[in-house]
Amino acid sequence: MLCTRCRAGLPRTYNFHHPYNELYLKFKGRIPIKYAFSFLTYSKSGATKKLLQTLKYYGNRDLGKVMGEMYGSELADWGYKNVFDVIVPVPLHKKRLKERGFNQSEAFAEGLATFLHGEIFPGAVIRTKSTLSQTQFKGEERWKNVQNIFQVVNPEKFEGKDLLLVDDVITTGATIESLAVELVKYNPKSLSIAAIAEAV
């Protein structure tokens, strides 16, 4: 799936070495957050963009799981095994899911779960609105685009649990913040975040 040379050349963040990293600080004060991690850095050119395009637009679901396994192994080695009860991938709207055939965040989450051992409950959270791509918006417009778009269907899955929310790319963090705001209503023990990539 990824040759040895490609794996060695990935722009890893290794920000799990630092609990109060830049991604954590991005969300601090916006949502009650415990940890925040990102596997890779994302820029408009480079390996990460090519990987995500292959994952999202060319139907390569296995690539998402492989990257999740790679990152999950690193996180487990660093002490995060059995820390998260439930892994919550950002859900796609049913229209987008039908077009794409799979949820790239869910594929990454499955790979993470292989080593971190958190449970995934598909369908426990749904996306109720089909929104335009966040790449078309800036600043506050991004938040407005994703406000009130998630619904928790099975709140009992999250109450009193340590949750790890999983997204593909975090830029402003508006989408995952919107998901976190909805989940907080159901009294989880803690919220943490993991992403395939963080925009720099």
Per-residue pLDDT of the chain in tens (200 residues, 90 and over written 9): 677 777 788 899 999 999 999 999 999 999 999 999 999 999 887 889 888 888 888 888 999 999 999 999 999 999 999 999 999 999 999 998 988 899 999 999 999 999 999 999 999 999 998 765 645 556 667 667 778 899 999 999 999 999 999 999 999 999 999 999 999 999 999 999 999 999 98
CB 36 within 8 A of CB 24: yes
Q: What pLDDT is stored for residue 136 in this prediction?
A: 57
Domain 20-199 has CATH 3.40.50.2020: yes
Q: What pLDDT is stored for residue 4 in this prediction?
A: 78
Q: What pLDDT is stored for residue 133 in this prediction?
A: 60
Q: What pLDDT is stored for residue 35 in this prediction?
A: 98
Angle between helix 47-57 and helix 104-116 axes, rounded to 10 deg: 110
Distance between CA atoms of residues 114 and 55, nearest Å: 19
Q: What pLDDT is stored for residue 2 in this prediction?
A: 73
CB 193 within 8 A of CB 178: no
The helix/strand/coil state of 118 is coil
Q: What are phi and psi of 192, to 5 degrees?
A: -135, 165
Distance between CA atoms of residues 107 and 66, nearest Å: 9
Q: Could you please report the per-residue DSSP string of 133-175?
A: -GGG--THHHHHHHTT-EEES-GGGTTT-EEEEEEEEESS-HH
Q: What pLDDT is stored for residue 142 in this prediction?
A: 63
Distance between CA atoms of residues 48 and 127, nearest Å: 26
